[in-house]
Amino acid sequence: MTDAILEVLGWINDWILGLSANDDALTGSMSAFMPQLYTYTKTIMESVVLPVAYVILSLFFVLELYKASIRIEGSGGGTQLGAEMIFRVMFKMILCKVAVDSVPLILNAIYEISTHITTGVAGIMGGGSMSGGGIDTVALEPMIDALGFWTGLVVLVICFIIFLVVLIAVALANIIIVCRFFELYVYFAISPIPIATMPSDEMSQIGKSFLKSFAAVCIQGTLIFIVLSFYPILFNSAFLDSSNTSSIWGILIGVIGYAIVLILAIFSTNKWSKSLCNAM
């Protein structure tokens, strides 16, 4: 019975300490996660969405010129005033045209900011300043040996439940990471259209909201990585240090409690990132 319990605890230990071991999905570039899908979305953006964005941009250009002519006429005309207002409209439209043309560069730059933060956190973990050995099975073995058969059987069942909860937490983390990239690629494919609304005073909020929403999805990856990096530290220092724990029950309750917290925290990263970026 003791060997079976220690074996399951070893599985739990390996899964928890390996939560942030595979960080390529959160520290790599947006195009590196699914290169073929990224290329496909970029083709959609350039071949289908970008021409529509140019039409929208042209309509706003004409509308802004019309508004400028109305203001010039309402103010009594004047060559200098008219030239200044027309110049302002032209300058704004040039900036917006450059922004629409540079959408991939802008979005990748926003994404790289979050990646830089995530890579910095990964560097701290890799440097060993936040490392831990996990379960000290040698120290736990006498405590488990002292359990009776039926008590040991209950402990074994609880260990299996904890293992399943941790497994679910890891699976959900991976699912959310994949869904996040799908969301990023959808935003990337459709991005020229909301950016094309920037010249309009009435509709520019669409483009601003889009950029905030995209930034929120990017920051979510950093928050997910930070949450995943928290759990091995808690696992090692707070609950699985047998020298500070007088009972196996305290260890098991602590682990399953923090596994549930991990699941809730991963689901909350979407809300946290939107709150940070003031996105919808």
Tell whether 89 is covered by a domain.
no
User: Comparing 22 with 142, which gets the higher pLDDT?
Assistant: 142
Q: 57-78: per-residue pLDDT in tens?
A: 999 888 888 877 777 766 665 5
Tell whether 82 is covered by a domain.
no
pLDDT band at 86 (very low <50, low <70, confident <90, very high): confident
Report the pLDDT value the prediction gives residue 217, as an integer from 0 to 100: 93
Tell whether 209 is covered by a domain.
yes
- The overall average pLDDT reported for the chain is 80
CA–CA separation, 236 and 255 (whole Å): 10
User: Comparing 126 with 59, which gets the higher pLDDT?
Assistant: 59
Global pTM reads 0.81
Which of 191-200, 206-215, 236-245 shows the lowest per-residue confidence on average (mean pLDDT)? 236-245
Grouping H, G, I as helix, E, B as strand and the rest as coil, residue 247 is coil
Tell whether 252 is covered by a domain.
yes
User: Comparing 32 with 74, which gets the higher pLDDT?
Assistant: 32
Q: How many helices (H) and strands (E) does the chain have?
A: 12, 0
Tell whether 188 is covered by a domain.
yes
Region 158-172 average pLDDT: 81
The number of domains in the chain is: 1
Of residues 221, 226, 222, 211, the one with CA closest to residue 109: 211
Tell whether 37 is covered by a domain.
yes
pLDDT of 211 over the 90 cut: yes
- Which range of residues forms the domain containing residue 207? 2-50+102-277
pLDDT of 8 over the 60 cut: yes
Which of 48-52, 148-152, 158-162, 182-186 shows the lowest per-residue confidence on average (mean pLDDT)? 148-152
Tell whether 35 is covered by a domain.
yes
148: burial class by Cβ within 10 Å (0-12, 13-18, 19+)? exposed
Grouping H, G, I as helix, E, B as strand and the rest as coil, residue 147 is coil
Tell whether 130 is covered by a domain.
yes
CA–CA separation, 57 and 52 (whole Å): 9
CA–CA separation, 121 and 91 (whole Å): 41
pLDDT band at 182 (very low <50, low <70, confident <90, very high): very high
Region 180-194 average pLDDT: 94
Query: What's the token pair of residue 79?
Result: 């060559």
Report the pLDDT value the prediction gives residue 106, as an integer from 0 to 100: 93
CA–CA separation, 255 and 163 (whole Å): 10
